[in-house]
A and B are shown apart, each in its own frame.
Chain A
Amino acid sequence: MNRGRLANWWVLGVGIFILLFPVLFSQHLFWVHVLTLIFIYIILSASLRLMALTSLLNLAGVAFMGIGAYASAVLSTRLEMSFWIAMPLAGGLCILFSVALGIPLLRLIGAYFFIGTVTIAMIVRVFFGNFFVEIFQGIPGFSPIARPSFTIPDLLEVVLVSKTSHYYLALGVMGISLLIMYGLENSRYGRAWKAIAQADHLAESVGVDLFRYKLLAFAACNFFCGIAGATYGAIMNIITPHEFDLPRMFIIVMYCVVGGMHSFWGAIIGTIFMAVIAEFLRTLGQWELFGYGVILVLAMRFMPQGLVGLMKPVFSPIGANK
């Protein structure tokens, strides 16, 4: 337990530093923006890991990010709703879709399930690119998107336009999402998910309703993806269908694998580590994706516990060994 507490303090320290980041580096708006995007990616990778607790890889996560982004954009821009209402509504829509799609999909076992989610990822891109062009604006993308704002009638109106405000928006959304996900993982539901991953028949025999718990994991994962998408749209001010395609999903899988799929902090550490590395890899230019591929294969092959697994020996001598 000591080790866990130490890690918590460590994370808290880093958290405070990150919180102060835009104040310290306000002249480097580029890095503020990079961190803003990292926060959004953290929501995505943490929610991918949430579903992976049941040993199912939800490759439709980015597709649901797209659904959330488009839903929130349409609600806030076309219907002129406040972003703070549109975002949860978009998340709710994602839950509805994941229940509707999950009922056939979650009947699939193992490999069939990955393949099934891949087909969802495909269809979402085709849908937003080619159908209802007058609403979704087709392949060029949906723009502009209404900015989130705080309004008190006749008194105050703050529109979140600056990079720093986006930073705090993403940070807030990420913080709340991570808190909920951490709570879920350590609740009755999280324990059931882990039991399903270890021995599904055994879990079923002691009364875990496999289908219901898997559906819950799928819906929760997609809800957070949708929230991340809604926030992403509000920050970027433009969303295009091809952004929500498989390559971005693969990048998120890579973040999780590099960080370590077996720990809650793995997804977060992996995302921060790889996204910062990516900014430097960018100087490599065209070999960037090739480098990602090599990192992914090597990480899976030689570092199956991820970065968190490498860090464990450093932390365990300090904390009491169990």
Chain B
Amino acid sequence: MDLTTFAQATVDGVMLGMMYILIALGLTLVYSILGIVNFAHAQFYMLGGFITWLLFAEKHLSYFLTMIIAMVVIGFFGVVVERLCFRPFRGKVLEAFIISLGLIWIFEQSVLRIMGVWEKGVPRAFLGKIDFLGMKFYTERLVVTLIGIGLIVALQFFIKYTRHGRAMRAIAQDRECAALQGVNIDLTCSLAFGVGCALAAAAGVLLGPVLYISPYMGGPPILKAFIIIILGGLGSIPGCLVGGLFLGLVDAIGSSFISLQAVEVLTFVFIFLMLLIRPRGLMGGLKAHE
């Protein structure tokens, strides 16, 4: 095992982990507040990727402006989707899950028809490599990781210290009591869904230049996000962080030393073993929607 490869794989792993976390955080936020599992969540990540391609690659806007536009646009789009499709199904896991299956087809196919089948490349946002102790790292991957960490910290701040964040935590604990205390449930649910979608869009903008943009790019990350949620526990943000970092590192390090398929199968085996011991994940709260 060679040290440089290992170090580079670790950096890649942390970056991948941050992206998985950004997607899984939205999922877990929506779950703990709306009580639904949105299987179409990664399609917002895909839409974020396409906004990057449209604005950053085609119209040559600045990268950060692209990111802000993507987060705002997709966030509002998420609010619209929540109002139209998910509002009647709050707390009804099965029904909402089926709705989100339909949304996957709608988003994927409409983007496929409008944008074309071909994968699109986005130019590098940050060029160059950084030398550290004689090992070279892509600047881009470090910056992407840092922005990811920044977004996660910002979300944590939002949930802990702002009025709407407190409202979200209140609803996650007890919907009726929160409503009795004057929390606007409809508004908070829309907001949570919008914030979740904005985070997914940010992940799309961040990963766009690193990977390719394609209508089907939502498939692999949503499964990873689900695994993270199973690992960490639905509705638990610390669990999400631990699970995401773990999975990112396993993916990156494992795939540079053994084959990717073997890593996938090993991950599943590990998860099954873990579920035998802790059915609610590492940090899943006992008081979740059932």
Known: A111-B31, A114-B37, A301-B88. A292 touches B93 (CB 8 A): no
B265, A304: Cβ atoms closer than 8 Å: no
B93 touches A294 (CB 8 A): no
Give the bracket for the number of chain A residues in contact with chain B: 35 or more
- Contact A301 B265, beta carbon cutoff 8 Å: no
- Residue pair A296, B109 in contact (C-beta under 8 Å): no
Pair A122/B229 contact, Cβ less than 8 Å: no
A289 at the interface (CB under 8 A from B): yes
Nearest B residue to A129 by beta-carbon distance? B261
What separation, in Å, do the CA atoms of A53 and B208 have in the docked complex?
Answer: 42
Contact with A along B259-274 (1 / 0, CB 8 A): 1010011001001110
Q: Known interface pairs A118-B223, A119-B268, A287-B113. Does A105 touch B275 (Cβ–Cβ under 8 Å)?
A: yes
Q: Which of the candidate stretches B97-105, B133-141, B166-174, B194-202 sits at the interface with the other chain? A: B97-105
- Distance between A112 CB and nearest chain B CB, rounded to angstroms: 6
- Chain B residues with Cβ under 8 A from A105's Cβ? 275
The chain B residue sitting closest to A297, CB to CB, is B102
Within 135-189 of A, Cβ neighbours of B (below 8 Å) are at none
Q: Give the docked Cα–Cα distance between A130 and B271 (Å).
A: 20
State whether A289 touches B230 (Cβ < 8 A).
no
> In the bound complex, what is the Cα–Cα distance between A225 and B108 (angstroms)?
28
- The CA-CA distance from A296 to B105 in the complex, in Å, is 9
Q: Is B276 an interface residue (CB 8 A)?
A: yes
Number of A-B contacts (CB under 8 A): 118
Q: A107-B279, A296-B102 are in contact. List 14 more A-B contacts (CB 8 A).
A: A57-B97, A108-B279, A111-B36, A119-B226, A119-B268, A127-B265, A257-B98, A287-B113, A290-B106, A290-B110, A293-B106, A297-B102, A297-B106, A300-B95
On B, residues with C-beta under 8 Å from A are 31, 36-37, 85, 88-89, 93-95, 97-99, 101-106, 108-110, 112-113, 223, 226-227, 229-230, 234, 259, 261, 264-265, 268, 271-273, 275-276, 279-281, 289-290
The chain A residues found within 8 Å of chain B, CB to CB, are: 52, 55, 57, 101, 103-105, 107-112, 114-116, 118-119, 122-123, 126-127, 129-131, 250, 253-254, 257, 286-287, 289-290, 292-297, 300-301, 304
A-B contact pairs, 27 of them (CB 8 A): A52-B94, A55-B94, A101-B272, A107-B275, A109-B290, A111-B289, A112-B280, A114-B93, A114-B97, A116-B275, A118-B223, A123-B265, A126-B261, A126-B265, A127-B265, A129-B261, A254-B102, A286-B109, A287-B113, A289-B108, A290-B105, A293-B103, A295-B102, A297-B99, A297-B102, A301-B88, A301-B99
